[in-house]
């Protein structure tokens, strides 16, 4: 469903070249949750943005449902539901109005839109606040509306970039339950998160990124075998320690 | 997986413009900050201003030239009745019992008018009132006080009255032409009354009477310098109102959207960027129109409530057609400002940054809006296509009823093109990598020293240089103008010094402080010899071609608009050249050609071009620097050097292309200097060249042979540039640019 081929991205800041993503490749199948993990600045968000076409890669390409992002950006965008830590809400629209707007944006008819809105409202239990103005909702409620917004057009692919950032334990649990639910719907999901314990339980495979490169890839078991560590947390710490040692030497 | 997404690409209808505009409008109009802007002025400010105006200023000018007619004040009831009897009985007057307010009207013989009676204009410009009926807070104590304080124009006092003779004294305000005219009008009516009585007596005696002298009146067009009409202020009001209404939604729907984090969701949706911007444009225009409409309604209602509409519309008050015209003009102003503001705020990454970008636009807009106050400025030539200036002048002419169809089409057509260009530009910028994910800079970025040397100036550094060049040039030009008494011997070295300081020393000082490497930051690389030859050929060949383009465009504008000030321009230029001839050619020619050629290129194609190349594609940078180059010459040329904009911009495009192909600023310096040198030399030696038979001093076109030679030289120059390979080691690789 999603395939990424040797993606490169570098930026020029103050006249100097800075490599953000360096030859990253991986693939995600329908019904699979792929944990794209790594410390801050590893290049996860840049990779996700390139898959969706929000950033242009300098080399390589990404495909969603057989469509290359660089050639068919709108076909890719139609097939993707996207939630990022930066996603905000229209403060003066209600949750329902926001969902209605995105239904129109994604080309849903009136009847279909109503059915989908009723479905996501029920799935994410938005009924008590969906008719309230988004500006007055709590952080957790806003994120639930955001997740509903990403799912309202029933996309086969979900890109979730730190969807639990700033949420408390209960709200985070809601997000993870949501991911489990969409996995059941046979959707391909890429999840970037720093909640490694939860990631271990819901992700089928992992890509560990560090300094723009894909350091390790595979299932939890495969990663444990490759790295000799017992958990993702240990793998992270080891990866950072190694890079520090290399930098000093 | 959803079946709809499983197969080949299915037909997909992106959300309509209305869907996007409706969402933007719904969100904007619910925002209480928009509502404040929308309603505060019309509902609160105008009535308050009306009260202040009425309370403090109205007594002093309620009966000035703009009122119904001259106001005569009388002391007693008896005087009032006698005065009425002393006036000719065959005329219509206005009387009032409670001034200031619209007067009651009086038919001949003291009858009240019928409901469908004559129009106000049919009444005599004379209104008389009893002192005690003046409805003012501080009513004057006597008719002398009323006249001296300006409440009344003339006082009328009864001296003696009998059945045979009534004598009046007219009290006039010393030194007031208005009061004197009022007294003369009263005298005219009293004389006419005597005449009527005399005629009646003759009729009674059956003595035939006929007029010995007759007269009539004809109007001719005024050739005196026009005076400023109150209508001339209306374009400025339209500018301020539409700007006020458009500023907040323009920032909110672009920078605000980015700041709130909703922009990413919108860009991640399958929507053409142009449609997103068009939806936003519709929303901004609607809010700007609503604000302006409510403002105008509030203003006119206030004027009407406080009976002051004649101050603004002295000719019979506000008419429906004027209101319709105002509204149509509002649409033009709102469309222009909304698109320009969206283009500007699309760059911004935060609301604060958006506000910082918008303030200069607002200040810049006020200047051209004031041009409507210049009565001799008409829509012709470049002014018909000059952004904003053209719609300001059109607004004035529409309101004065003097707009022509041709000029209206040119103005509306060019303004529509500008708006489309602005929105296309905004669509390219809005939601790009740098706006979506770039961090906002701070003042600290400008003063902090980078940890390592920079190969080119950052955008903020280049923009800081540009921001200092404009006021620097204005100040220096002002200084040179103040030195005119010292003659060109002092002015000339100052001009050269200013060029070196402003375009050379300032950018070099700033970029050195910011640790920019001089060679790479200014592209001071040794050029390929082929490129140098190309620069020389273009420097020689482009001069006649550009000059002919200017001549043809001036002719076209003369033909289209039927008038021109070309001769005035030519004679002013010749006068200037005569003065410059006091300076030896050895100093003058390099000072006015080679020095600007070198230092201007050092900044525009050196610092600025190299900086912008970090983010934009080559042709975008070529166009951007060319427009800035053209605009710079436009705004610093004094008295709006509109004629310089297009040729300078065209030259900027050629220079940018040379810089791009060669990767060096040196060929640009050669081309620019050579072009200047040839132009200045021909002007300087014009008479000598004509005497030697080289040129025809009276010719109105460039000779065909010269044009052909110029074209051949330019073609060869472009060909040499085309075959020369750009040096890739001197430029940032294409694929690494963080550009939209």
Q: Which of A54, A155, A186 shows the shortest C-beta gap to B436?
A: A54
User: Under a CB-based contact definition with an 8 Å cutoff, are residues B679 and B495 in contact?
Assistant: no
Query: Confidence band (pLDDT; 50, 70, 90) for B13?
Result: low
By C-alpha distance, the chain A residue nearest B455 is A15
- Integer Cα distance of A23 and A5 in angstroms: 8
Nearest to B339 by CA among B416, B411, B409: B416
Q: Shortest CB distance from A86 goes to which of B19, B261, B737? A: B261
Residue B414 CA to residue B394 CA, distance in Å, equals 12
pLDDT confidence of residue B307 = 65
In 3D, which of B126, B342, B346, B330 has the Cα closest to residue B240?
A: B330
Indicate the range of A105-109, A185-189, B315-319, B733-737 predicted with least confidence: B733-737
Cβ–Cβ below 8 Å for A55 and B437: yes
The answer to whether residue B445 neighbours chain A at the CB level (below 8 Å) is no
- Mean pLDDT of all residues belonging to chain B: 77
Mean pLDDT computed over B483-500? 83
C-alpha to C-alpha distance for B305 and B481, rounded to whole angstroms: 50
Q: How far is B455 from chain A (nearest CA, A)?
A: 6
Q: Give the gap in angstroms from C-alpha B296 to the nearest C-alpha of chain A.
A: 28
Judged by a CB distance cut-off of 8 A, whether residue A107 touches chain B is yes
Q: What pLDDT is recorded for position B591?
A: 87
Q: Which residue has the higher pLDDT, B311 or B610?
A: B610
Residue B663 token pair: 């990767």
Question: In angstroms, what separates the C-alpha of A91 from chain B's closest C-alpha?
Answer: 8
Considering only residues 191 to 230 of chain A, which have any Cβ-Cβ distance to chain B shorter than 8 Å?
A: none
Backbone dihedral angles phi then psi of residue B684, each to the nearest 5 degrees: -65, -45
Q: How far is B65 from chain A (nearest CA, A)?
A: 51
Tell me the whole-structure pTM to 2 decimals: 0.64
Return all residues near B95 (Cβ < 8 A) that are at least 6 apart.
B84, B103, B104, B105, B106, B127, B128, B129
Q: Which carries the bigger pLDDT value, residue A12 or residue B335?
A: B335
How many residue pairs bridge chain A and chain B with CB atoms within 8 Å of each other? 124
pLDDT of residue B312: 59
Q: What is the ipTM of this complex?
A: 0.89
Predicted pLDDT at B61? 46
pLDDT at site B208: 80
**Contact residues, B window 267-296, toward A, CB-based 8 Å cutoff:** 267-271
Using 50, 70 and 90 to split pLDDT, how confident is the model at B258?
confident
How close, in Å, is residue B331 to chain A by CA atoms? 27
Q: Which of B20, B29, B265 to mutate to test the interface with A (most CBs of A within 10 A)?
A: B265
- What pLDDT is stored for residue B56 in this prediction? 58
pLDDT digits (tens, 9 = 90+) for B543-570: 888 877 777 766 766 666 555 555 666 6
Nearest to A82 among B12, B14, B268 (CB): B268
Predicted local distance difference test score (pLDDT) of residue B309: 62
* Side-chain half-sphere exposure of B17, counting CA atoms within 13 A: 9
Average pLDDT over residues B320-339: 84
Residue B236: CB atoms within 10 Å: 20
User: Is B93's pLDDT higher than 70?
Assistant: no
Q: CB-based contact (8 Å) between A24 and chain B?
A: no
Q: Is the peptide bond before B580 cis (omega within 30 degrees of 0)?
A: no
A92 to chain B, any CB pair closer than 8 A? The answer is: yes
- Residue B386's SS3 state is coil
Q: Residues 117 to 156 of A: which have CB under 8 A from any B CB?
A: 146, 149, 154-156
How far from chain centre, in Å, is Cα B685? 38
Mean pLDDT score, B265-280: 86
Mutate to test the interface with B, among A10, A15, A72 (most CBs of B within 10 A): A15
Q: Do B265 and A104 touch (CB under 8 A)?
A: no
A 163-182 → B contacts, CB under 8 A: none
For residue A196, give the 3-state DSSP assignment: helix
Residues A87/A142, Cβ–Cβ less than 8 Å: no
Closest CA to A117 of A103, A106, A107, A105: A103
């Amino acid at each position: 469903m999603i395939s990424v081929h040797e993606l490169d991205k570098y930026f020029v800041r103050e006249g100097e070249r800075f490599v953000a993503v360096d030859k990253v490749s991986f693939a995600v199948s329908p019904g699979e949750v792929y944990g794209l993990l790594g410390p801050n600045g590893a290049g996860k968000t840049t990779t996700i943005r390139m898959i969706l076409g929000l950033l242009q890669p300098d080399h390589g390409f990404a495909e969603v449902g057989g469509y290359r992002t660089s050639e068919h950006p709108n076909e890719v965008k139609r097939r993707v539901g996207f939630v990022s830590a930066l996603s905000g809400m229209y403060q003066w629209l209600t949750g329902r109005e926001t969902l209605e707007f995105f239904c129109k944006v994604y080309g849903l008819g009136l009847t279909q839109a109503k059915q989908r809105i009723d479905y996501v409202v029920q799935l994410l239990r938005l009924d008590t606040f969906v008719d309230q103005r988004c500006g007055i909702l709590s952080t957790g409620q806003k994120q639930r509306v955001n997740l509903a917004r990403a799912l309202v057009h029933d996309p086969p692919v979900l890109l979730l970039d730190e969807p639990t950032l700033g949420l408390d334990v209960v709200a985070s649990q809601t997000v993870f339950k949501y991911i489990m639910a969409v996995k059941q719907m046979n959707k391909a999901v890429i999840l970037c998160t720093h909640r490694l314990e939860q990631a271990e339980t819901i992700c089928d495979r992992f890509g560990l990124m560090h300094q723009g490169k894909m350091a390790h890839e595979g299932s939890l078991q495969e990663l444990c075998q490759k790295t000799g560590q017992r958990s993702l947390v240990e793998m992270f710490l080891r990866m950072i320690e190694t890079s520090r040692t290399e930098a000093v030497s | 997986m959803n079946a709809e997404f499983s197969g080949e690409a299915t037909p997909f209808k992106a959300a309509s413009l209305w869907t996007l505009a409706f969402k933007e409008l719904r969100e904007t109009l619910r925002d209480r900050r928009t509502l404040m802007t929308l309603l505060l002025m019309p509902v609160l400010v105008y009535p308050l201003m009306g009260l202040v105006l009425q309370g403090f200023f109205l007594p002093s000018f309620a009966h000035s030239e703009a009122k119904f007619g001259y106001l005569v004040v009388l002391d007693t009831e008896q005087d009032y009745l006698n005065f009425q009897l002393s006036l000719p009985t065959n005329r219509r007057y206005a009387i009032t019992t409670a001034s200031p307010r619209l007067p009651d009207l009086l038919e001949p013989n003291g009858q009240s008018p019928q409901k469908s009676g004559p129009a106000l204009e049919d009444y005599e410009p004379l209104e008389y009132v009893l002192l005690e009926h003046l409805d003012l807070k501080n009513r004057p104590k006597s008719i002398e006080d009323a006249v001296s304080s300006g409440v009344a124009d003339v006082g009328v006092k009864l001296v003696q009255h009998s059945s045979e003779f009534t004598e009046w004294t007219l009290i006039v305000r010393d030194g007031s032409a208005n009061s004197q005219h009022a007294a003369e009008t009263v005298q005219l009516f009293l004389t006419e009354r005597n005449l009527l009585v005399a005629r009646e007596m003759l009729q009674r005696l059956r003595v035939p009477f006929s007029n010995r002298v007759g007269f009539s009146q004809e109007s001719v067009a005024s050739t005196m310098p026009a005076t400023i009409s109150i209508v001339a202020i209306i374009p400025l009001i339209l500018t301020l109102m539409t700007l006020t209404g458009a500023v907040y939604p323009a920032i909110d729907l672009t920078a605000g959207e980015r700041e709130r984090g909703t922009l990413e969701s919108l860009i991640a949706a399958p929507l053409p960027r142009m449609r997103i911007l068009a939806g936003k444009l519709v929303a901004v225009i609607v809010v700007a129109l609503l604000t302006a409409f409510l403002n105008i309604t509030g203003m006119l209602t206030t004027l009407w409530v406080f009976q002051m509409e004649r101050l603004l519309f002295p000719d019979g008050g506000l008419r429906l057609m004027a209101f319709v015209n105002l509204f149509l003009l509002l649409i033009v102003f709102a469309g222009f400002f909304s698109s320009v503001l969206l283009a500007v705020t699309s760059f911004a990454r935060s609301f604060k940054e958006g506000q910082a970008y918008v303030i200069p636009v607002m200040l810049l807009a006020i200047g051209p809006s004031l041009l409507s106050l210049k009565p001799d400025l008409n829509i012709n030539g470049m002014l018909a296509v000059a952004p904003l200036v053209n719609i300001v002048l059109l607004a004035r002419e529409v309101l004065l009823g003097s707009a022509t169809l041709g000029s209206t089409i040119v103005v509306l057509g060019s303004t529509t093109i500008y708006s489309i260009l602005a929105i296309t530009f905004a669509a390219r910028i809005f939601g790009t990598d740098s706006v979506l994910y770039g961090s906002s800079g701070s003042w600290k970025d400008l003063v902090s020293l980078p940890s390592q040397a920079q190969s080119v100036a950052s955008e903020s550094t280049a923009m800081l240089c540009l921001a200092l060049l404009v006021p620097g040039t204005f100040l220096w030009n002002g200084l040179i103008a103040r030195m005119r008494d010292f003659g060109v011997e002092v002015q000339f070295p100052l001009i050269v010094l200013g060029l070196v300081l402003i375009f050379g020393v300032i950018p070099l000082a700033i970029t050195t402080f910011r640790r920019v490497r001089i060679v790479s930051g200014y592209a001071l690389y040794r050029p390929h010899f082929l490129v140098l030859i190309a620069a020389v050929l273009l420097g020689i060949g482009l001069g006649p071609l550009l000059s002919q383009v200017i001549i043809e465009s001036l002719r076209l504008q003369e033909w289209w608009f039927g008038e021109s000030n070309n001769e005035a321009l030519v004679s002013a230029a010749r006068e200037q050249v005569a003065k410059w001839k006091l300076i030896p050619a050895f100093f003058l020619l390099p000072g006015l050609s080679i020095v600007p050629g070198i230092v201007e290129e050092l900044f525009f194609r050196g610092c600025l071009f190299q900086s912008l190349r970090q983010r934009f594609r080559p042709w975008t940078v070529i166009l951007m620097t060319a427009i800035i180059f053209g605009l710079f010459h436009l705004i610093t040329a004094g008295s709006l050097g509109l004629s310089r904009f297009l040729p300078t911009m065209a030259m900027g495009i050629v220079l940018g292309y040379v810089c791009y192909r060669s990767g060096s600023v040196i060929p640009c310096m050669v081309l620019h200097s050579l072009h200047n040198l040839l132009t200045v030399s021909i002007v300087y030696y014009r008479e000598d060249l004509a005497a030697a038979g080289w040129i025809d001093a009276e010719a109105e076109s460039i000779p065909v042979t010269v044009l052909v030679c110029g074209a051949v030289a330019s073609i060869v120059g472009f060909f040499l540039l085309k075959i020369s390979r750009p040096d890739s080691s001197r430029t940032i690789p294409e694929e690494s640019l963080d550009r939209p």
